[in-house]
Structure 1
Amino acid sequence: MADLTLTTVPIATGIADVAAQATAAAVGGDTAPVGPGRFLYVNNGSAVSVTVTIATPGTVSGLAIADTAVAVAAGKHAFIPLANVFRGATGRAAITYSAVTTVTVRPFELAS
């Protein structure tokens, strides 16, 4: 898995070209930092829907929490929250994709 680099978007100006900083989604998946105000930008440039799955390693009362799966329609963008519930053993979220051709991604955070 590739470790994605976080981009900071200042709340005061809201100016950051997250799309321009996006990189190709890795075939074996990616990892990203998690926490309040952090999101994963996904640009699906392909002609088919792509499912982005974020592993949820925790449990509640001994029961596994289901992984989060978000379908991103062909030619569309998505902003997926990277909440602390996705924090894995490395302190990062583990992200996989049903397809990666023409899919770009970038984690970002809103910060003052």
Structure 2
Amino acid sequence: MADLALTVVPVAAGIADVAAQAVAAAGGGDTAPVGPGRFLYVNNADASSKTVTIATPGTVSGLAIADVAVVVAAGKHAIIPLTNIFRGATGRAAITYSAVTAVTVKPFELGT
């Protein structure tokens, strides 16, 4: 898994081009920092839809919390919240993809 670097988007100073900073999704999956105001940008430039799955390692009353799966349609993008519920043993979210052809990703945080 590749560790994705976080980009801070300054809310008061303008708009950051998160799409331009996106990198190719790794075939073995990626990890990203989690926390308040953090999100994963996903761009699917392929001709078929892709499913992005984020592991949810926690439990409630001993029952596993289901992983989150987001389908990104062909030619579309998604913004997925990276809340603390996705924090794994490394302190990061574990992200996998149904396929990585023409998929780029970038975690970002809304700054002050």
Q: TM-score, normalised by structure 1?
A: 0.99
Percentage of pairs with the same residue:
83
C-alpha root-mean-square deviation of aligned residues, in Å?
Answer: 0.5
- Give the residue type in structure 2 aligned to 1:30: D
Residue 79 (1) aligns with residue 62 (2): no
SS in 2 for 1:101: coil
1:59 matched to which residue of 2?
A: 59
Paired residue for 2:16?
16
Cα distance in 1, alignment partners of residues 42 and 23 from structure 2: 10
Q: Distance in 2 between matches of 1:17 and 1:62?
A: 42
Amino acid at match of 2:49: S
Q: Which amino acid aligns with 1:35?
A: G
Q: Matches of 2:67 and 2:110 in 1, distance apart?
A: 24
Unaligned 5+ segments in structure 1 are none
Instruction: Describe the superposition over 1:2-54 as per-residue Cα deviations: whole angstroms up to 9, x where unpaired.
Output: 00000000111341010000000000000000000000000000000000000
| CA–CA distance in structure 2, aligned partners of residues 78 and 38 of structure 1 | 14
Query: Are 2:11 and 1:4 equivalent residues in the alignment?
Result: no
Deviations 1:35-84 (A, max 9, x none): 00000000000000000000000000000000000000000010000000
Measured in 2, the distance between the counterparts of 1:70 and 1:102 equals: 17
